[in-house]
A = this chain, B = another copy of it.
Amino acid sequence: MTIHYPNGKQYSMPSRNAYPKKSAIVHHSIFGKRGMTLEQEINESNAYYLAHDIAVIHKKPTPIQLVKVDYPKRSAAVIREAYFRKPSTTDYNGIYHGYYLDFDAKETNNKLSFPLKNFHEHQIKHLRACIKQSGVCFAFVKFSKLDRLFLLPATKLFFYWDQQLQGGRKSIPLKNIEQDSYEINYGFNPTIPYLDAVDKMINDFGV
């Protein structure tokens, strides 16, 4: 696809369909090159699921503490002083086929284990509260350097979290994550077909 700009220059936009349809691994490395963050990958996948009436999942906006807002005449309000507040929940929630989904997404540059410090007490607390209400709760755990993405059920996360609180190790070894999670292979549409993993999780856990 070629766009002609007014200045006469041409810009070639990378088209998804232009890529040859090879194996998932090829797609994977292509996406790795594109340099999307995990958040972008999830947002893009959610947009796909929404557009196709498959699920309604959104990222929650970051909470802001407003201090000073200007209201100029005939134009939009301008926030002139504000601070980031700590969220009291996870970043994502929504509905899929009658199920309430709730999750957070974390990345690490480590190659052998996933540091638990990526998670925060309020997120764990929130996930526990949602589990009590029969929600489908999990965390995306991505090893960026390995280009590997896992969906880790919240109950498994709690296990390692609680171990840590009792003086256990401060990270989850990759081999444990391989055992306890559903690995997600990158795709085209959606980028992360994570609802397949959610289906398996619902099936295994009988939520």
Contacts and interface: CB of A to CB of B under 8 A. Distances in A.
Contacts of A102: 95
A100 B95 contact: yes
Counting contact residues on chain A (CB < 8 A from B), the size range is 35 or more
Copy total for this chain? 2
A100 B129 CA distance: 14
Contacts of A73: none
Contacts of A61: 60-64, 87
Nearest to A57: B133
26 contacts: A50-B129, A53-B132, A56-B126, A56-B130, A60-B60, A60-B61, A61-B62, A61-B63, A61-B87, A62-B64, A64-B79, A77-B84, A78-B82, A79-B82, A79-B83, A80-B81, A93-B93, A93-B94, A94-B100, A95-B102, A95-B130, A95-B133, A96-B133, A97-B133, A98-B135, A99-B100
